[in-house]
Amino acid sequence: MKITILDDWFDTLRNLPCFTKLEGLDVTVWTDHVQETDTLAERLQNTDILVLFRERTKITSALLDRLPNLKVISQRGVYPHVDVEACTRNGVLLCSKQPKGGAPNFAAAELTWGLIIAAMRQIPQQMASTKQGKWQIGVGKTLHGRTLGLYGYGRIAKVVSHYAEAFGMKVVWWSSLAGRDRALQDGKTVAKNREAFFSESDVVSVHLRLKPETKGIITRDDLMGMRKDAVFVNTSRAGLIEPGALLDALNAGTPGTAAIDVFDTEPLTDADDPLLRHPNLICTPHIGFVTEDEFDHQFTDIFDQIVAYLNGSPMHMINPEALNV
């Protein structure tokens, strides 16, 4: 069986403990990123098992139709980037563990908090000014006593709330109706309505999964309802925001600052992109989950799926009917 891993940009996986699970197997690791169907089809022509690195590469019907040897795709989490119907039609089994319960993604929560501090204390701007010999350039804001609005009542948001409480911030929640009900049952403070959530928070941080029902859930009106001195943070997915809304809101000055880890196009390498160039944007290149610890945790699950398949007991099957094609 030939195994191919895509998008391991820094060739990290080979040096992690979990990689020993593939010992003795024929493994190829690609450390660049391509999306062109012709190039991918050529690279994967002899691949039996494909390993995906989150949602970095889209697996389309046009690509799957050109991979006669492919039997399994192993990944973890949601799979909006994979054409499941085309997988089934081509007899390709998609295995993807859906994390439920257990430990949250601490890496993402920690980066969220780093972006909040960076935005509120102007760390990137102050650093750039200092390196240029200009010393201080403005006055930041203290977190203690301010309000953090968390959109989404899930595991990562709950970790971020603990950080906020340790810094003396007030935490206010918003979510789906079911999420708000759970928050209230847990004794949390829920905003009186959606408008109040956005307008009264000093910082709004979004922690939702990107699904059809959450796509574009953060609207232009939501963002423009924030204060001019507020900060909007997104370390989840860019698709949660209405297309073009964040740039429009920053241009309007409400919110005053955005701190994000995710973009509509990734990797984003256009230095002239208007959002990327905006002076009130603080950003990182989708590194919320990019730590050695988180990689080892996630790819342990992914490689376990491969071992299970090779042992004749596939698990975490999204389309088991593909086995009968």
Same domain, 16 and 164: no
- Chain center to CA of 51: 18
Strand-pair partners of 170: 147
Q: Look at residue 297 in the predicted model and tell me its pLDDT.
A: 92
- Chain center to CA of 233: 13
Same domain, 240 and 267: yes
Q: Look at residue 18 in the predicted model and tell me its pLDDT.
A: 98
Q: Is the pLDDT of residue 171 over 80?
A: yes
Same domain, 245 and 132: yes
Average pLDDT over residues 3-20: 96
Average pLDDT over residues 33-62: 96
Beta-carbon count within 10 A of 65 CB: 14
Same domain, 127 and 93: no
Total number of domains constituting the chain: 2
Q: Look at residue 101 in the predicted model and tell me its pLDDT.
A: 63
Q: Look at residue 98 in the predicted model and tell me its pLDDT.
A: 86
Catalytic residues, by residue number, are 237, 266, 286
| Comparison of pLDDT for 325 and 288, the residue scoring more | 288
Average pLDDT over residues 153-160: 96
63: pLDDT confidence band, cut at 50, 70 and 90?
Answer: very high
Residue of 301, 287, 240 whose CA lies nearest to 108: 287
Same domain, 182 and 305: no
Percent of the chain with pLDDT over 70: 99
Same domain, 29 and 165: no
Q: Compute the distance between CA of residue 116 and CA of residue 130 in angstroms, rounded to an integer.
A: 20
- pLDDT tens for each residue of 214-239: 999 999 999 999 999 999 999 999 99
Average pLDDT over residues 156-171: 98
Q: Which domain holds residue 192?
A: 106-283
Same domain, 213 and 262: yes
- Chain center to CA of 46: 30
What DSSP designation does 239 have? G
Token code pair at residue 235 = 């370390």
Same domain, 187 and 302: no
pTM, to two decimals: 0.85
Same domain, 56 and 192: no
- pLDDT tens for each residue of 245-276: 999 999 999 999 999 999 999 889 999 999 99
Same domain, 214 and 125: yes
Same domain, 125 and 236: yes
Same domain, 85 and 15: yes
CATH of the domain at 27: 3.40.50.720
Mean pLDDT for the chain overall: 96
Which residues have C-beta within 8 Å of that of residue 48, sequence separation ≥ 6?
1, 2, 3, 69, 70, 71, 72
Q: Look at residue 102 in the predicted model and tell me its pLDDT.
A: 63
Q: Look at residue 267 in the predicted model and tell me its pLDDT.
A: 87
